[in-house]
Amino acid sequence: MLMDFEKHRADRKILSVAFKPEPMRHYADSLNEGIKSRIGKWSGKTFKFYPAIKELTLDLAATSFLGIPWGPEADKVNKAFVDMVQASIGVVRVPLPFTAMGRGAKGRAFLVDYFGKMVPERREGSGEDMFSQICRTRDDDGNYMSVEAIVDHMNFLMMAAHDTITSSITTLVWELARHPEWQDRLREEMLAVAPAGEGVGHNSLGQLEMTEWAFKEALRLVPPVPSFPRRALKDFDYGGYRIPAGASVGVSPAFTHMMEEHWPEPEKFDPMRFSPEVARERHKYAWVPFGGGAHMCLGLHFAYMQAKIFFHHVVTTHRIVVAPGYEPEWQVLPIPRPKDGLTVTFEPL
């Protein structure tokens, strides 16, 4: 995300290989398997949803992204990775012992060593996971990406994917718990696509239209990346202001998604806003949870896929319930989440 122009274009092209239909089919299979087994453990329980989905998303990334099975090895990678992300917002910015930055630097050293050693064998192998795909891809001159670049991209992919999916799925779980009528509507759509508890394969994802609208509405209400920085390349005028080349410019989905001129009753959960008839008239950049332009999120289809598979497993077999009058408080930064973890019950149908 911090690269620009030619280098960015070349690396983005290599990374895109991991999001083509064939690998996506493979990830869908492993997501279905992992989600099904975990939801069995949540069935009939009252639990904190946010930490549970965070753990599941990390575990799913271990298989789809890295091609390593769940277990102690994946746990170690996940811990190193979580420490590294925490360090990015640590107050102390030098890697002293017992600080978030210290743990983060240790985590990063572990991951660099861990991924780095695996690159040669992944190049020779036929793994379908993201890491293997990126290791095997060559640029326009026939060269592999360097080990250092692969390590950095894998770290970024894990970071880009896991907190964002965790946050957006949590938002939709909360909205569905508050709007049981939407659980019924989605369940009907889902059961027409695949039997209860079976999940959906990659080829059927397009049929879950309303589920996609509901997920988009969750991303509108609580965009996982509430704002992101840009820099003006040349002078331009915007909203009556002159912006000089080189100026920092903040783009804020959280603000844009609440603009009444684009979103009537912006606080209301209404997935029908995304039905083609309503969406057709809307400004192209009124909905920007995945950014836009040259850096637009590469993993948005992966995010839709994980969300659709997850909700198919949950909603076709359970009712998502919260206690009457329950109103969790949300923390917005660095990534939106319910402060108390969001207490929900998954009642078997």
Q: Residue numbers of the site for ligand HEM (CB under 6 A)? A: 1, 12, 15, 157, 160-161, 164-165, 168, 224-225, 228, 289-293, 295-299, 302-303
**Residue number with CB closer to ligand HEM (42 or 310):** 310
* CB nearer ligand HEM, residue 84 or residue 165: 165
> Of 277, 216, 305, whose CA–CA distance to 21 is shortest?
305
CB closer to ligand HEM out of 228 and 326: 228
Identify whether the C-beta of residue 27 lies closer than 8 Å to the C-beta of residue 326: no
> Two tokens at 339?
């402060």
Between 2 and 192, CB nearer to ligand HEM: 2
Nearest Cα to Cα of residue 307 among 35, 17, 19:
35
Q: Which of 222, 86, 115 is nearest to 166 (CA)?
A: 222
CB of 165 vs ligand HEM, minimal distance in Å: 5
| Cβ proximity to ligand HEM, 118 vs 160, nearer residue | 160
Q: Give yes or no for a contact between 325 and 44, defined as CB atoms under 8 angstroms apart.
A: no
- Quickly list DSSP for 4-27: -HHHHHHHHHHHHGGGSHHHHHHH
Short-list 262, 264, 254, CA closest to 289: 254
- Residue 313 C-beta: closest distance to ligand HEM, Å: 18
- Angle (CA) 193-198-200 rounded to 5° is 50
CB 224, min distance to ligand HEM, A: 4
Q: How far apart are CA 165 and CA 348, in angstroms?
A: 24
Q: Residue 153 and residue 156: Cα distance in Å, rounded?
A: 5
Cα 295 from Cα 196, distance rounded (Å): 37
Sequence-distant (≥ 6) Cβ neighbours of residue 22 within 8 angstroms: 128
Q: Give the integer Cα–Cα distance in Å for 270 and 288.
A: 17
> Which tokens sit at 297?
């999120």
Q: Closer to ligand HEM at the Cβ: 197 or 291?
A: 291
Which residue, 29 or 347, has its beta carbon nearer to ligand HEM? Answer: 29
**CA triple 290-292-296, angle to 5 deg:** 65
Give strand ranges (E) for the chain.
Answer: 46-48, 228-231, 236-238, 241-243, 248-251, 318-321, 330-331, 337-338, 343-348
Q: Which is nearer to ligand HEM, 102 or 291 (CB)?
A: 291
Least Cβ distance, residue 299 to ligand HEM (angstroms): 2
Q: Which is nearer to ligand HEM, 64 or 183 (CB)?
A: 64
Cβ within 8 Å of residue 193, ≥6 positions away: 200, 204, 207, 208, 312
> Residue type at 135?
C
Could you tell me the smallest distance in angstroms from the CB atom of residue 153 to ligand HEM? 8
